[in-house]
């Protein structure tokens, strides 16, 4: 009976899929994210994203954030962020094109946000980037919603 029960669990378990509804991203003093592609499962109601700065430099010298937008909006938002300044996390205030964002953090710090997945479209054209001046050109990646 025990062998049968264990076999049944293994068979049933292979058909069960669990959505990954949390993501950990790291950013470094070398101006890099540790991931360039992120996949969000549309079955998640909310996605918890944790950004950790693994470097040692302070926020005003090498701060990083994580910003999600549609691909077509990234350049305009990054440029508008320059004028917004550090106190506004280098993002324009209340810009509806910003889907989600963390605050700017320095070495050793982290920030956690929740993203309402229901506002995203499967197969949509999304990106993430760091809006700290000069970073967005290389600190960026693709977001896929499946």
Task: For residues 111-117, give the mean pLDDT.
Answer: 97
Separation between Cα atoms, residue 84 and residue 65, nearest integer Å: 14
- Average of per-residue pLDDT values in the chain: 90
Q: State both tokens at 66.
A: 């994580």
pLDDT confidence band for 21 (50 / 70 / 90)? very high
Residue ranges and CATH numbers for the domains of the chain are 19-145 (2.60.40.420)
Between the CA atoms of 61, 65, 68 and 71, what dihedral angle is there, to the nearest 10 degrees? 20
Return the pLDDT at 116. Answer: 96
CB neighbours of 105 closer than 8 A, spacing ≥ 6?
51, 53, 59, 63, 64, 65, 111
């Amino acid at each position: 009976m025990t062998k049968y029960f264990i076999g049944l669990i293994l068979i049933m378990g292979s058909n069960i899929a669990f959505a990954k509804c949390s993501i950990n991203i790291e950013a470094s003093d070398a101006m890099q994210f540790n991931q360039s592609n992120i996949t969000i499962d549309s079955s998640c109601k909310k996605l918890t994203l944790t950004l950790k700065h693994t470097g040692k430099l302070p926020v005003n010298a090498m701060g990083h954030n994580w910003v999600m937008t549609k691909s077509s909006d990234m350049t305009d938002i990054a440029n508008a962020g320059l004028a917004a300044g550090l106190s506004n996390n280098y993002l324009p205030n209340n810009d509806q094109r910003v889907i989600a964002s963390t605050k700017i953090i320095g070495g050793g710090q982290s920030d956690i946000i929740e993203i309402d997945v229901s506002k995203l479209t499967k197969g949509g054209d999304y990106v993430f980037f760091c809006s700290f001046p000069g970073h967005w050109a290389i600190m960026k990646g693709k977001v896929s919603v499946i």
